Chain A
């Protein structure tokens, strides 16, 4: 399963190579032309004969860690890559560097803590990755400063339709895009697998500059917060309630014409959809929207619980419906049923 492969791939912002390789291999029978740029964006080019130039984008990178120094004892100090909450790091399994050296992030035993410590967040400088090295020199044989680490989470099923894994933000979007790129349309399609989204939407802007699309569709794995303790109107999205369409977030106000067309297609084809009910956070759409003389954009997301943590969860029904909706949208453009 492509989603499993992508979820388990090692690809923090700035080191997306493993994800790139999975995608080029998966799409080899369907894509004849690839372009790569100076930042590492991977763009599948499917030339067309008529209609608007459509850019689809999904980011390959995930949040992770970077080794910043090695303690005398052989424990590794680290910094965060992307927006990870310090609190999700404790008592987790990670893999480090190109050789995927296993490590664990431990915490001082509860027996050794003062009671008030237990209500405080353990600061980043109080956390270490333990790879089992017995000294700094021992650790240096396995690890270099600047090596990246990601969570060592396995993909798995909670039920027939619900799966867990790391990096569903945005490997679920990559998987949707890959499925869409297996189809053939008469307009030119540019499938951009972008880099460095998590550290500031860095890849998408330069990709859009090179592509010069007439319109763009950004595919995301976005936050679900349909959890006890959140207000319903603050849920952002709900798992199992269908693909989420963004009207606005901190980076972009999406194109109303594109949004309306998606809503029309969803209704006509009985696909449940929802609006993303939170306007915080940004996406690659923000950069693409403001590229060159401006690009109309829309964002379609697979709702995922617990993104930016070691393990996230999504509904395969939502995932399949997202693929279906994007394909319907492209078919509609192809048939000339929709034009800007």
Chain B
């Protein structure tokens, strides 16, 4: 399958943190076509493995973590007329919720609209401040009894958004953070089929990153990799945001370095990119990266960790925008990196 088509399928799929099963099923099915084995662990992580040519008892294991969970909403109350009150799962700007179409994942998927009072009826004070989430409701347009029979408190809600192809190679959707990174792993799996690699590649679609990298923690323990790479998104350049907080769009993967990143892993990523004429940008991060790399690094006795990020605008909105060329380039870089790893390199990771 074309990587763009795969990305479209998974961003239009559903998987709020802790409830990743629907999107996990899509990923498992597609990864099974290109990996040697795919399994799911107790926290719902989808672990796909593509074996390398390495032999012996303890082949080199490289684990890549891309989180498949998305931010979302959860029903907290059904009011006396059938309107739904809700709360958030993950970091959501309440201002981006007004007038959104949503899908309420009840006994069946229901379309709804996040309502607010019409502007004609607002007092001047109300017009000058953001609507608070507690003052919004989800309107299903259904009678109370029908709402009660189909929806329960605790049901998940996602924004109803189709994948949008923009000009050139740009695209917008919900949940690009971080399913674009799952697409990077898919691209990598396809690239690796053309390459020789001695390491085993574990492509892990992790759960619950948005609430604290919980899926990465347990899957890293389980896979016990020699090298761990997280793929995530970083802020793309845009007016009104300082340049040092962002990375340029369409200029290739953004490679982080700092305490969270093993220097030799970073150097190897840079070397591989240079040797293969893959353009990249760099991101100095002094402490936490806010990604699965942060959890992976301190798993078991410590894991040498790297981080590749895809520049993305409007993070945590329903129109997260990125360059599909950056996704492809990240997948290619990752595959070439994996193919470059041998036991000598792995041994060197312990020599500071």
**A interface vs B, CB < 8 Å?**
71, 73, 75, 83-85, 87-88, 90-93, 101-113, 118-122, 126, 128, 130-134, 138-139, 142, 153, 156-159, 162, 164, 223, 225, 227-230, 234, 236, 239, 278, 280-281, 305-311, 313, 315
Instruction: Determine whether the beta carbon of A308 is less than 8 Å from that of B240.
Output: no
In the complex, B191 has a CB within 8 A of chain A: no
Binding site for A on B (CB under 8 A): 79, 81, 83, 91-101, 110-113, 115-122, 127-132, 135, 137, 139-142, 146, 161, 164-172, 235, 237-241, 245, 249-250, 290, 313-319, 321
Q: Which residues of A contact B120 (CB under 8 A)?
A: 83, 223, 236, 278, 280-281, 308
Q: How far is the CA of A159 from the CA of B142 in the complex (A)?
A: 7
Chain B contacts for A133, CB-based, 8 A: 167-168
The binding surface of chain B is classed by DSSP as loop
- State the main secondary structure of chain A at its contact with B: loop
Known: A158-B110, A164-B101. A103 touches B240 (CB 8 A): no
29 pairs, A vs B, C-beta closer than 8 Å: A83-B120, A90-B98, A91-B100, A91-B314, A91-B319, A93-B161, A102-B166, A103-B166, A104-B314, A106-B321, A108-B240, A109-B316, A118-B93, A120-B129, A120-B130, A128-B239, A131-B167, A139-B167, A158-B110, A158-B111, A158-B141, A159-B141, A164-B141, A230-B117, A234-B121, A278-B121, A305-B139, A308-B119, A313-B141
The minimal Cβ–Cβ distance linking A306 to chain B, given in whole angstroms, is: 6
Given known A106-B238, A305-B113, contact A111–B167 (CB-CB < 8 A): no
Interface centre among A91, A118, A227, A281 (most CB of B within 10 A): A91
A121 near B245: Cβ-Cβ < 8 Å = no
Find A91's partner among B128, B290, B318 (CB 8 Å cutoff): B318
Question: In the bound complex, how far is the Cα of B120 from the Cα of A101, in angstroms?
Answer: 31
Judging by beta carbons under 8 Å apart, are A110 and B139 in contact? no
* A113-B93 in contact (CB<8A): yes
Cα A182 to Cα B146 with chains together (Å): 36
Q: Shortest distance in angstroms between A285's beta carbon and chain B's nearest beta carbon? A: 16
A225 CB contact (under 8 Å) in B91, B118, B135, B167: B118
In the A-B complex, the 5 residue pairs with the smallest Cβ-Cβ separation, listed nearest first, are: A132-B170, A132-B166, A106-B314, A162-B141, A104-B319
Choose among A83, A121, A230, A307 the residue that contacts B130 (Cβ–Cβ < 8 A): A121
